[in-house]
Amino acid sequence: MRKFGQLLTLLLFSLMATLLQAAEEIRNVRAWLAPDNTRLVFDLSGPVDHKLFTLSNPDRVVIDIEQVNLTASLDKLGLENSPVGAIRHSERGDGLRIVLDLQEKVRPKSFDLKPNEQYGHRLVVDLEMREQAVVTKTVVPVPGEGGKRDIVVMIDAGHGGEDPGAIGPGGVREKDVVLAIAKKLKAMIDARKGYRAVLTRTGDYYISLRGRTGKARKSNADLFVSIHADAFKDPRARGASVWVLSGRGASSEMGRWLAKRENSADLIGGVGSLSLDDKDDVLASVLLDMSMNASRKDSHQVASRIHANMDRFARMHKKHVEQAGFVVLKSPDIPSILVETGFISNPGEASKLRTASYQKQMAEAIYRGIVDHFWEKPPAATYIAWQKQSGNNLAASERLYKVVSGDTLSLIAQRNGVSLQQLRSANKLNGDSIRVGQVLRIPAG
């Protein structure tokens, strides 16, 4: 009996040891490629411990993962246009070693992500291209007449890649909706002489919040527009909104910039003409305060125009522009706004947001607000400022529209916030007859 008890105890200890050493699984591997970053995501059955380090001659990134089995394939990850030339693995004790053979130098980092509503445990490896890490200013092109530059609008489609944003009924994802709206807005802005739009992301990949504002500064942007789709646990919540930086958010950001100015290459002054690193505390504080106050004033003005445009066709969450401390609104030198296009968690608004026609309406509302604002307050040395000063009285929002199947003159007028009579007058029409393919002039609303 005593021997049986000892044997049973031994078996129990052995079973416990086996359970404690049970390996997790790498069940899937995904790659997200951005212009300046490559992200590898390892989907896991549970949490793991790992270590990342680099080797040279040749350059490699090594990821050692403890107590894990690889049940996923590392082939066909779509890494052809990435810094990774090859990816290989080998068993190492009770764990796994994954080696990334590099084609160019990178700055690697790794971190764990806990489960969310879409994914389980994940190990993320980011490879930042070193060439992109050096901040250089982009030369802004000039459009010709007057030798003046374009007004640059940075359009930020929220979320992306591993971060889907909010997910609405039927699986509609915020990251997809806002990228579609951003691309439509870019097309409208680029089609207007004297303007140029830049997207923070052109595809399905993630960019950090500070990385988004950094891209705006690098492009010498005159305006930063971040596009999102809200969500709430109660599906009845609805309404679009437009946001600017709050006073409290501005104060905290000013403190952050003052604290880092001595070892920072960040510049202020509209187009990066003024540095803080050689200024004393008082002068630096005054300069930042002036810059942020001017930026917040312009932000509120353009936000108010966009809010009014959206109010013509969408239910608005509030009757006025709202304020918060969103990180993407905290550029001291760039007017910045955040547009929540609606509650994607609301079935009715999600249904609208996933349609190309409603996305276009949203893009047009933002577009009209932008061009109206800059016609009234064009930045110095821009083509729009030169055009206005030279006596060209072309209305700020006047643009061209090509008639498509299903359009009526009254519907086009309603969508663009103008009266039927204004539309007839601008196009010298005696009646309401239009044809598919006809190009109409849309006057200022």
Give per-residue pLDDT as tens, 48-107.
999 999 999 999 999 999 999 999 999 889 999 899 999 999 998 889 999 999 999 999
Reference 359, options 201, 179, 235, 230; nearest CA is 179
DSSP lists the bridge partners of residue 252 as none
Residue 211 belongs to what H/E stretch? helix 209-218
Query: Per-residue DSSP letters for 365-430?
Result: HHHHHHHHHHHHSPPTTBHHHHHHHTT----TT-EEEE--TT--HHHHHHHTT--HHHHHHHHT-S
Reference 202, options 33, 44, 334; nearest CA is: 33
* Higher pLDDT pick, 325 / 68: 68
For residue 111, give the nearest of 57, 35, 47 by alpha carbon.
47
pLDDT tens, position by position, 251-265: 555 555 544 543 333
- Specify the CATH number of the domain 145-389: 3.40.630.40
Q: Which token pair is 83?
A: 């810094």
Q: Which CATH number is 18-133 given?
A: 2.60.40.3500
Same fold, 18-133 and 145-389: no
**Which of 113, 115, 226, 233 shows the shortest CA–CA distance to 166?**
233
Q: Could you give the CA distance from residue 318 to residue 308 in angstroms, rounded to a whole number?
A: 11
- Tokens for 64, please give them: 């050692």
Instruction: State how far Cα 20 lies from the chain centre.
Output: 42
Residues near 236 by Cβ (< 8 Å), separated by ≥ 6? Answer: 346
Q: Is the peptide bond before 47 cis (omega within 30 degrees of 0)?
A: no
pLDDT for res 153 = 97
188: confidence class by pLDDT, cuts 50, 70, 90: very high
pLDDT at 216: 92
Q: What fold characterizes domain 399-442?
A: Membrane-bound Lytic Murein Transglycosylase D; Chain A (3.10.350)
pLDDT band at 18 (very low <50, low <70, confident <90, very high): very low
Name the one residue in this structure whose structure tokens are 């547009």: 339
Say what the pLDDT of residue 183 is: 97
Question: What is the value of pTM for the model shown?
Answer: 0.73
Q: How far is CA 78 from CA 255, 380, 396, in A?
A: 43, 45, 44
**Any idea what DSSP says for residue 327?**
G
What would the mean pLDDT of 7-21 be, rounded to a whole number?
A: 54
Interior CA angle at 218 toward 215 and 223, to 5°? 70
Note the pLDDT tens digit of each residue in 110-125: 999 888 777 899 999 9
**DSSP state, residue 47:** -
Kindly state the percentage of the chain with pLDDT values over 70. Answer: 79
For the CA atoms of the chain, what is the radius of gyration? 27
Domain residue extents for the chain? 18-133, 145-389, 399-442
The mean pLDDT of 269-295, rounded to a whole number, is: 56
